Amino acid sequence: MRKKFFPAKILLFGEYGVMENSVGISVPHNFYTGSLEFHTKFNKEILYSNYEIKKYYSFLSIIEKKRKNLIKLNLKNFYEDLRKGIFFHSNIPQGYGIGSSGALIAAIYDRYAKKKLKKCLKHAIILKKIFSHMESFFHGKSSGIDPLICYLNIPLLIRSKTNITTIKLPNNNKEKITIFLLNSGFPSKTFSMTKFFLGKLKDNNFRKILKSEFMMYNEKCVESFLKKDFEFLLKNVKNISTWIFNNLRPMIPKTLWKIWEEGILNNRYYLKLCGSGGGGFILGFTSNYEILKNQLRKYATEVVFHF
């Protein structure tokens, strides 16, 4: 079959806030991709991927029966392909917060949806709803944003659950600010991190400061990003980084506590969660990536884009 590649995604702003109907910006990251393929020879990767997708097929079979008018997948063809050894060939690291499951979901929907919705913005809301059900297998309560980004492959501004538009990213060569990924060295346990956050939301005081402080900083980040006001952007990324360090520190890998705090104190870079937290990639912002590379030379970093 013809290979169709689906990209990873990066949620620039809105981590966990989008679950509370806050604003967010998510972009595709085409350095990492995945595609459904049939094996030419067996190896451990292929066998494991096929086995895991079989478990996901069983889950989809159940929700298909419960929500007949929503997803509508050709499960018969899906089952036959699984018997033939279909697998997900991907370089997207699992548990690193950049949408490995989202790319898989997008690929499965694209191949097996009976009445597939086209990859266009006007279908974003219904696609998001479909994907939220499909994604719940991996993360429990899910927004559906990750598979939506991987499927549409365009940057999206999420203003609410029912207000999603595309945006034009700032110029990618001015190098006033660099957004980068920092590798923690181990994957996150997404389900446990999500459970931890939902537990925190049961505390009325935490929910209050989440909405009055964190969401306010997040909205200002989005506003300044869209206006290309980079000085104001960094100021509010620092506020988010500080807020997470003070209020959600268990979601930051302990091995990164020191450099997380150092970035806030020396104002050379700021770190924030990428995905669920607890491991995987960390998202960083800096106005001087060359100095940062030297300062964080013990850690693997990679540029998302300059602007």
Give the pLDDT score at 212.
94
Structural contact between residues 111 and 79, judged by C-beta atoms closer than 8 angstroms: no
Longest Cα pair distance anywhere in the chain, in angstroms? Answer: 58
Q: Flag whether pLDDT at 41 surpasses 90.
A: no
CA atoms within 13 A on the CB side of 76: 1
Give the pLDDT score at 18.
76
Count of other CB atoms within 10 angstroms of residue 202 = 8
Which residues does 145 contact at the CB level (< 8 Å), separation at least 6?
A: 9, 11, 18, 24, 26, 128, 131, 156, 158
What does the pLDDT look like over 63-120, one tens digit per residue? 888 775 678 899 999 999 999 999 999 999 999 999 999 999 999 999 999 999 999 9
Q: For the domain bounded by 6-166, which CATH number is listed?
A: 3.30.230.10
Give the pLDDT score at 139.
76
Please, what is the average pLDDT of the chain?
Answer: 92
For residue 144, give the nearest of 4, 158, 73, 60 by alpha carbon.
Answer: 158
Give the pLDDT score at 15.
85
CA–CA dist 24, 271 (Å, integer)? 17
The phi, psi pair for 267, rounded to 5°, reads: 60, 25
Give the pLDDT score at 1.
65
Crossing angle between the packed helical segments 44-66 and 100-112, to the nearest 10 degrees: 60
Q: Which amino acid, 43?
A: N
Break the chain into its structural domains and give their ranges.
Answer: 6-166, 178-306
Strands 24-38 and 281-286, how do they pair? Answer: unpaired
pLDDT confidence tier of residue 262, bands split at 50, 70 and 90: very high
The mean per-residue pLDDT over the stretch 218-228 comes to 94
pTM beyond 0.85: the answer is yes
Strands 281-286 and 269-273, how do they pair? Answer: antiparallel
Give the pLDDT score at 22.
81
Give the pLDDT score at 100.
95
Q: Classify domain 178-306 at the CATH topology level.
A: Alpha-Beta Plaits (3.30.70)
| Span of 37-46, 62-71, 189-198, 286-295 with lowest mean pLDDT | 62-71
